Amino acid sequence: MRMLKSVFLYGVLILAMPGWALAEEAGQAQSASLDELLLRIKEARLSESREQAARVREFQQAKAEKDKLLKQAKATELAEEQRSEQLEQEFADNERQIAALEAQLQERLGSLKEMFGHLTAAAGDTRSTLNHSLVSAQFPDRTDFLDDLIERMSSNTRLPSIAEIEQLWYEINREMIEAGKVVSFPAAVIGADGEQSSRQVVRIGAFNLLSDGAYLTYRPETGAIAELARQPGGGYQKMALELQSSGGGFTAVAIDPTGPSGGSLLAALVNSPGWLERWRQGGGIGYLISGLGVLALMLALWRLLILSVVSRRVSRQLSKEAPADDNPLGRVLQIGLDNPSLDAESLELKLHEQVLKERPSIEVGLNWLKIIAMVAPLLGLLGTVTGMIITFQAITLFGSGDPKTMAGGISSALVTTVLGLCVAIPTVLLHTFVNSRAQRILHILEEQSAGLVAEQSEAR
């Protein structure tokens, strides 16, 4: 038993010996790492102390620089305040000096101040007048000196010279004198095709410019003379050409009295549509009315020609005793010769029957003329009503702000009524004339028929 305990203890000791060795090694390692850790902590504290000291030095240095800048700014502020006070004092002194000089200027100007005011107003009005005057087309660059003159008279430091004032007086008088002359001068003219050429231009006072029978326009903003794209009709160009070729004396010519202000009358005359443009404004209904008018004219001329031939043949037949078959009267008389044994009543019926046969060929086309004369104004009224409806629809959509637009639409709408009347009136006259020719021939036929019946009755 004791022996077993001894063996057990011995085994335990053997097993415990490696553990003691390991514990001793671990203690030595732990001791070494703690010393190292302590050393590192000490070194870190020293490093942080050095960095903090460096930061403190930087902060102190920056603070010293800011203090220096602050002192400089305060010194600058003080200097500027002193300079501001000095400038304010100088400004006040200058204000007093200017007021004194202005008072001296007003005192020395005296009545000249009012004169310069009137002179400035006259120069401004003259500049506006000369810029838009047709006389400037012959004498350009007349207003260059006026700009400098107005600037001088509006300045407190400069005064106009006597020569400039006299030149203003001269230009005012020249404008009045030239406005009453008819002169010719060479100038560059822009044609209707855009090509520029040198022409002889006739200036009628300050109203109109003419060249080669054409009316010209003057553009003050560019100083160019251009031919109107559309020229007035009615012989105005012929009168303008006669004036240009005239050597003296009295020559009739049409002028626009509103020429200096833009030539509104000439523009209205030029822009007014001609008869062909008016006809085109009628549209489809206008074309239809025109077609009916042409048809009525051709029909009337054709019937007049036929009835003239028939009338001549009937007249020849009246001078002959033997009936001819080439005219209505001959054919009627032939009935009397072919039926000599008939009684008066039967012969009258036979002759009346033949006259009724001849009537359609004589009166053919007359009803068509009557129909065209009645339908043409109705078609014109239809076109007018249609145009008025379109005009009022446009007014409903776009308003009636521009009376010219509304008047133009109504004017176009009335074109069809004019066309209808222009077709109906001649057609009525033609119908009356053609019908009178036809009735004259029928009257001769009836007269001769009654004569045959009377002769037959007397013979019996």
Q: For residue range 362-391, what is the model confidence (pLDDT) as tens digits?
A: 888 889 999 999 999 999 888 888 888 877
Residue 312 lies in a domain: yes
Q: Who has greater pLDDT, 325 or 297?
A: 297
Residue 33 lies in a domain: no
Nearest to 453 by CA among 324, 346, 355, 353: 346
Residue 427 lies in a domain: yes
Q: How far apart are CA 97 and CA 74, in angstroms?
A: 35
Q: Who has greater pLDDT, 203 or 161?
A: 203
Find the mean pLDDT for residues 131-137.
Answer: 84
Backbone angles phi, psi at 319, to 5 degrees: -90, 0
Q: Examine the pLDDT at 445 and tell me if it is beyond 90.
A: no
Residue 371 lies in a domain: yes
Residues contacting residue 328 through CB under 8 Å, at least 6 positions apart = 310, 314, 358, 361, 362, 441, 445
Output the CA–CA distances (angstroms, integers) from residue 315 to 164, 195, 333, 433, in the order listed.
94, 67, 14, 19
Tokens encoding 315: 């007249």
Residues contacting residue 219 through CB under 8 Å, at least 6 positions apart = 225, 226
What secondary structure does DSSP assign to 185-241, as a single string?
EEEEEE-TTS-EEEEEEEEETTTEEEETTEEEEEETTTTEEEE-SS---TTHHHHHH
Residue 412 lies in a domain: yes
Whole-prediction pTM: 0.52
What secondary structure letter does DSSP report for 327? S
Q: Examine the pLDDT at 76 and tell me if it is beyond 80.
A: yes
Q: Who has greater pLDDT, 300 or 55?
A: 300
CA terminus-to-terminus distance, the chain: 210
Find the mean pLDDT for residues 285-303.
Answer: 92
Q: Examine the pLDDT at 349 and tell me if it is beyond 60.
A: yes
Tell me if residue 417 falls in helix, strand or coil: helix
Beta-strand (E) ranges in 60-169?
none
Nearest to 363 by CA among 387, 392, 328: 328
Print the domain residue range for 367. 281-459
Determine contact, residues 294/243, Cβ cutoff 8 Å: no
- Total number of residues shown for the chain: 460
Q: For residue range 154-177, what is the model confidence (pLDDT) as tens digits?
A: 766 677 778 888 888 888 898 889
Number of domains making up the chain: 1
Characterize the bridge pairing of strands 182-190 and 224-227: parallel
Residue 310 lies in a domain: yes
The sign of the torsion formed by the CA atoms of 207, 211, 212, 217 equals negative
Tokens encoding 363: 């009166």
Residue 112, pLDDT score: 65
* 336-362 burial code (b ≥16 CB/10 A, e <16): beeeeebebeebbebbbebbeebeeeb
Q: Examine the pLDDT at 1 and tell me if it is beyond 70.
A: no
Q: Which residue has the tokens 């009936």?
A: 323
Nearest to 347 by CA among 362, 333, 329: 333
Determine contact, residues 376/424, Cβ cutoff 8 Å: yes
Q: Examine the pLDDT at 270 and tell me if it is beyond 70.
A: no
Residue 134 lies in a domain: no
Tokens encoding 155: 């300045």
Residue 149 lies in a domain: no
